[in-house]
Each structure stands twice: as C-alpha cells, then as structure tokens.
Structure 1
C-alpha cells in the first residue's frame, strides 16, 4: 500500500492518477475529506481506502506491515495565512509524526518542502543542506517548511530512505479549488476568457521591466515524474530542489496562455499591492544540479508546451488529471 497525504489536493490527486496509471491500485488517500470543494479531484481514481487526516497515525500503527511508501504532500500552503499555530500543527508537528512513524516501521518517505523557504533569494536557490539555517522565508508558511527541513536533518534516527522536495511554482490540472492560491496560468485563463485581456503586476524594481519578473514554473506532471523517480530510486536521501532550472517571465507565461487560447495578447499592468510590495520576489530559479547528479535525466516540459497542454486539455474542458 502507498500512502498519499493531501490526496484530494492539487498535487496529491495528480500523483494518485499517475500511480494508478503505473499499476498501483492500493492507494491510501489521506486528507481532510470534509472539504467537499476538492472531491472532484479524486473522482475516477482507484483508491483502496480513504483515511481522515486526524486518524492517520492510528491507521499506520494498525497497518504498518503493509505500507510500502509514504508521499507526504499534504500541508497548509496559504502564504497569506499568518497564524503560526496553524502551521505548527499541520506543517511542522504533523510532519514530525509522519517521520517518526517512518522511522519506527522503516517506511521510505518523500515529503513536500517548498521554494518559499528561500525568501527573497538573498542566498541564492541552491539546495545546499548546510545553509538552511541562513534562509529567510517571507511568511509563516515558508518558515514552517524550513523549520521541518532543518529538524529532519538534525534527527539521529531517520527513515532508511527519505527525500524532501522544494517545490517551486507548480501549475497544472486539479487546482480548480485553490482560489486565489491557484497558479497565475489558472487566473490568466479565466481573466482572458472573461475579458480578452490580462492584467499583471507592474515592476517596482528598476532592474526589471513590467511583466519581466521571473519565476521557475514547473508543470505538475514533471513534478510527479520526479516523485515517482524517487519512489523507485530509494537512495541518495536528502533535500532537493524541484523546479525546471530555468526562470521565465510572467509576460512569457501570459503570452503562452493567450496563444494556447488562440487569442491575441493584450496585457496591461497594475501596481503591486502596497502590503506585499516589499516582500515581492522578482526572481526565482532552482539550481537543479543536485538531482541531476544522482541520475534524474528526464527533460522538463517547456513553459509553452506545459501551458498549451494545461489550457487545451484541462482548463478548456474543466477536466482533471
């Protein structure tokens, strides 16, 4: 059996789809299933059992012999939430409990960290485990992810195989429920569909022109490929970046969205809200040399190809991965 936490969410549900396609049917889906807005993400997927998030640890104790792997994808990911206690409970302490179960029963683990740990990128975007304590996340979400990464590395007792993946800007199908936290492509598609136009944040940094703020955008299917790679690889434990290694501009992204919709680009710019302006990232780019060095050699989908697939095969028909 393979456990997937955050199973009804954006990445977790896509991962289950891929596991099913690869022949894995004994999936234990863990989530807060009271959130009905995510229910459609699991429709049509083969799942052995749904386990409420709060009941997972008792379930693991009762079924430990049959657990082959844990993907801990679930987390509170809202970067606008500033109640530290929520992140302590769901991102830090819950993750510690999963880690401890993996140690106790020798279950391999892949968990989701985040590029939010890098803050404004003052120290670059290298997944060097010796520099984690120097990172300066911009919000409690990023703090919680970095806190757990540091804690994991400090543990004397570790699962025999474990990996933390620092997700960069992920986009793709199954994020319909995410509201304002959905990807810029999702919002661009809906804005263009409604108005034939798209508004982007103006640059308030003289080093960047309007629309040329840059992010490392990774298609969710590529991210899932890496998760599957580690499930089979089971060596070289540690913390890894997971982006494409190539930063692209928001303007590139929006033009790709217009093109995928077969519409003429019409982009205007609005001021970045004052309350987030001083914490706005102008550049993120994952250094992907570490994961390449252990044998992951699959190319990442280009922004243009990823946006086209997402828009034409999912958003246009409100389809799911």
Structure 2
C-alpha cells in the first residue's frame, strides 16, 4: 500500500521504538515504499531487566527487524548523550516516536514519567531544532473509563501509563502554539497484527487466543464476553494513519480506531472460523470488575477530516490477513 508519492527521496526518518510492534512495521513500510529515504531505527532492545510486575522493561526484538536494511541504533531515549549525538550527527526530516514504557500494569511511576514524558520533551526539542515533523504514539488509555465513544477532550486516565500519555498530549499542545513544525499525536486503540509476538503477555488477545486455539486448548473468556467490547484496529490501519499524519499540516491529537466496538467473543468466533476449529469456549469470572474497560469505541470524525484517514479493515478482514502469521509464530516460537 502506498499512501503518498515517492517524495521522501533523500529524506531522513527517525523511528524510536523501531524494534517494537508498531515501529518495526513502520520501518518496513518505508523500506518497501520509499527505498531512497534514509530510515534510522532507535530501540533499547530487550535485556533481562524487568519491571516490578515481572514484565520486561523493553519489548524490542531483533527478529522484528530481520530483513530491514536501514540503520539500527541500540540506545535509551533517557540517555542525554545519545540524544545529543542524534542531534549533532543527523538531520531528521520526520520523527516517528513509538518508544515508551507501554505496559499499562507497570507500577514504576517515576520511570514511566521519565521515559514517556520527560524524554519526549527532549525529542520535541530535537525535532524543533531539526525542523522535523513529529508523529508520536499517544493512547486510548488516556480515556480510562470515559463513556463511549471516546472523544478527545474527555480524558480520565486510570493508570500511570494513561496519565503519561495525556501528559505527552498536553506538552504537545504547548509546542504546537510556538513550534514551526507539525506535531501529531495518534491515540491508538486496541492494535493487533504481525510483529506483536514479542510483546509477550501484553500482545493482543487476537494473538493470544489464536495460539490457545492452535494448541488445542479451549479458549478461556471472561463471563459475558459478548458484552465486553473494544475498538480493535489492525496494524495496516495504524500505518495508514501514521503515514497520512506525516503530510498533514494540521497539528493535533487524533484517535486511531475503527469507530466500531467488537467483542472478545467475536475474536474467538472469527479465529475458529479461519483456523477451522470448533473448540468449546470456557467462561471464567472476571477478576478485574471495577477496574476494567467494558466498552471502547473511537470517535474518529476529526481524524478523518484532518488526516484523510479511513479505516479499511473490519475485525474479520484483519484476522483473515493475520492468521498466517499467527500460525507461523505458533510453529516457530511457541511449539
């Protein structure tokens, strides 16, 4: 898919978090569609370092970049010397900022704010000095339990991750008033698709249910899963929004979803159809009642108006496109 003409010849693009799920998909999009652009991937990559909840601090993985021929830098966006090196030795035209502590269950408030908010300000300053347009990952977590459809301006974050993303949005608005660059924040809803496997337990339920089914296990759903609804968005529509954001002249914060809420039961039923299985679902008590989103649905009219964005993948389309990769990761990584 090619959303813009090849006007990126000799342009330099920085993708932070480029070995992660969304960042790596962006890297390959540009490599395929704009081979004469210089793409620089920055990622801290994974180590043995974990958060207090036991999850990895970084999900970046080299396997997400196998086949990528651009420049790869291992580094932490909290490293001031690294940022100075980037500012001094490169001249970026576009920055796609995907790097973050993205675990919504993380308890380290200090690390979350330092990484997601303070380091982002440093990157914004770099973007201003390079005259580079900034496209960054915000999140639907900014809405917390806000009523559906979720709309920009009605935020109520329930965890430090959502708070940090809202803080990024507020900071961005300050810069939009004076900076001579375009700044676009994209609030991703529930994203699924290829290259998410290395997110481990934070990967989408599409992938997790798919692997359960391929293992011959009965899918385990919370009770009343047909009434637990989310705005699930396929990675190709996320890439579409990012690419369109790089050419818009309208700075702003925009939702990126499908504007359609679908159930976890829909996911399992669609997967079973595509995988040609008929396993019996098991229904368990939901232990998160009281701290759980039961309905998310992006309000995307402003996204359509400002970016020309139009979601192209229904849940069934996305899963159908994804299922071969679900099989591959199961055969090569799980079994």
Q: Do Structure 1 and Structure 2 share a fold, with TM-score over 0.5?
A: yes
- The offset of 1:237, in angstroms, is 0.7
Q: What is the correspondence of 1:155-234 to structure 2 with a 5 Å cutoff? A: 155=175, 156-202=177-223, 209-231=224-246, 233-234=247-248
Alpha-carbon distance change, 6 to 295 in structure 1, aligned in 2, over 3 angstroms: closer
Unpaired segments ≥5 residues, structure 2: 1-11, 48-58
Correspondence 1:100 to 2:121: no
| d(CA) in 1 for partners of 2:204, 2:67 | 24
1:68-122 Cα offsets, whole Å, 9 max, x none, are 1100011111011111001111101011111111122211010000000000124
Q: Per the alignment, in what secondary structure is the counterpart of residue 318 of structure 1?
A: helix
| d(CA) in 2 for partners of 1:51, 1:241 | 30
Whether the aligned pair in 2 keeps the contact of 1:215 and 1:282 (CA below 8 Å) is yes
- The offset of 1:37, in angstroms, is 6.7
- The offset of 1:300, in angstroms, is 2.1
Unpaired segments ≥5 residues, structure 1: 203-208
Q: Per the alignment, in what secondary structure is the counterpart of residue 95 of structure 2?
A: strand
Query: 139, 142, 147: which one pairs with 2:159?
Result: 139
Alpha-carbon distance change, 67 to 220 in structure 1, aligned in 2, over 3 angstroms: same
Whether the aligned pair in 1 keeps the contact of 2:229 and 2:296 (CA below 8 Å) is yes
Q: Per the alignment, in what secondary structure is the counterpart of residue 211 of structure 1?
A: helix
Whether the aligned pair in 2 keeps the contact of 1:20 and 1:45 (CA below 8 Å) is yes
Structure 2 partner of 1:77? 102
Whether the aligned pair in 1 keeps the contact of 2:148 and 2:296 (CA below 8 Å) is no
- The offset of 1:179, in angstroms, is 1.4
- The offset of 1:161, in angstroms, is 0.7
Q: How high is the TM-score relative to the length of structure 1?
A: 0.89
Correspondence 1:257 to 2:271: yes
Q: Per the alignment, in what secondary structure is the counterpart of residue 294 of structure 1?
A: helix
Q: How high is the TM-score relative to the length of structure 2?
A: 0.85
Structure 1 partner of 2:87? 61
Structure 2 partner of 1:205? none
Instruction: Number of aligned residue pairs: give it.
Output: 304
| d(CA) in 1 for partners of 2:179, 2:138 | 17
Whether the aligned pair in 2 keeps the contact of 1:73 and 1:112 (CA below 8 Å) is yes
Alpha-carbon distance change, 83 to 299 in structure 1, aligned in 2, over 3 angstroms: closer
- The offset of 1:159, in angstroms, is 4.7
Alpha-carbon distance change, 23 to 87 in structure 1, aligned in 2, over 3 angstroms: same
Q: Per the alignment, in what secondary structure is the counterpart of residue 234 of structure 1?
A: coil
Structure 2 partner of 1:48? 71
1:221-254 Cα offsets, whole Å, 9 max, x none, are 11011111122x2311100000011111111111
| d(CA) in 2 for partners of 1:168, 1:159 | 29
- The offset of 1:124, in angstroms, is 4.6
Alpha-carbon distance change, 287 to 196 in structure 1, aligned in 2, over 3 angstroms: same
Query: 104, 113, 118: which one pairs with 1:88?
Result: 113
RMSD after superposition: 2.0
Correspondence 1:126 to 2:151: yes
| d(CA) in 2 for partners of 1:175, 1:297 | 23
Q: Per the alignment, in what secondary structure is the counterpart of residue 94 of structure 1?
A: helix
Whether the aligned pair in 1 keeps the contact of 2:43 and 2:60 (CA below 8 Å) is no
- The offset of 1:27, in angstroms, is 1.1
Correspondence 1:303 to 2:315: yes
Q: Per the alignment, in what secondary structure is the counterpart of residue 30 of structure 1?
A: strand
| d(CA) in 2 for partners of 1:16, 1:83 | 29
1:242-267 Cα offsets, whole Å, 9 max, x none, are 00111111111111111111112522
| d(CA) in 1 for partners of 2:115, 2:309 | 33
